Structure 1
Amino acid sequence: MRRLTSFCVAFGFLGAASAGLALAAVGTPSLHVSQKGRAFQPNALNVSRDARVEIVNDDGDLLHHVYIDAPDFSFDSGDLKPGSRTQVVFTVPGTFAVLCGIHPKMRLTVRVDGH
């Protein structure tokens, strides 16, 4: 009986640890984009549907405002102070212009594959 209890405890611990790893993977951005020098770096991405992209304001003294305004997909981060992060999950296929509402020349092109 003692062996069975030890086995159940060990098995339960492994299950809990595995679940924790799965949850960590779900919340982890798949791609990282920096906003620095009034530019997105990189300025183009090819991603699969449901990809998570994290955008970070790496400018030490500039405010940014990320938005997407497309017929079938939209996003608005609000103002991003230096050091701030936002995440976009691209749920529909297509090509999207990710823009900064404060710096109109900033542009990131994201191509989302339908598969």
Structure 2
Amino acid sequence: MKYGVLLALLLMACAPTTTAPSPTATPPVTQVQVALVDFEFRPATLQIAPGTTVVFKNQGQAPHTVTDGAGRFDSGNLAPGAEFRYTFQAPGAYQIYCKIHPYMTLSLQVGP
């Protein structure tokens, strides 16, 4: 009888255990791209988390700027193919436009 119990314990100890897979956390997005194409920002509205870097890339044929309406940053002239990166730390609303083509606008919200 002892050997039967011992054998049962050994078999249980060697049996594979099933555990639920641990959930994988999706890493937060830390970089997004905005295209400057045909005299518009694409997308024209954007919501991001603080600490996100936005890569503004001129994918059009004309030069553009990426300028904050409150004066916090300005890319200077971006030739076709050029890009400008800015990391948005402070929560709030940003109204971004092109100085060369002021009708080009982007409404960006940082945070909730």
TM-score for both structures, normalised by structure 2: 0.70
Report whether the alignment pairs 1:91 with 2:93.
no
> What amino acid maps onto 2:104 in structure 1?
M
User: Structure 1 pair 92/47, CA: closer, same or farther in 2 (3 Å)?
Assistant: same
Percent sequence identity over aligned pairs: 31
How do residues 1-115 of structure 1 correspond to structure 2 at under 5 angstroms? Answer: 30-59=31-60, 61-70=61-70, 74-113=72-111
Structure 2: 5+ residue stretches without partners? 1-28
User: Structure 1 residue runs of 4+, over 3 Å off?
Assistant: none
More strand by share: 1
> What amino acid maps onto 1:97 in structure 2?
Q
1:29–1:87 CA contact under 8 A, matched in 2: no
Which has more radius of gyration? 2
More helix by share: 1
- Structure 1 residue 29, shift from structure 2 partner: 6.1
User: Structure 1 pair 95/85, CA: closer, same or farther in 2 (3 Å)?
Assistant: same
TM-score for both structures, normalised by structure 1: 0.68
Q: In structure 1, how many angstroms separate the alpha carbons of the residues matched to 2:30 and 2:99?
A: 23
Q: In structure 2, how many angstroms separate the alpha carbons of the residues matched to 1:85 and 1:106?
A: 16
> What amino acid maps onto 2:53 in structure 1?
R
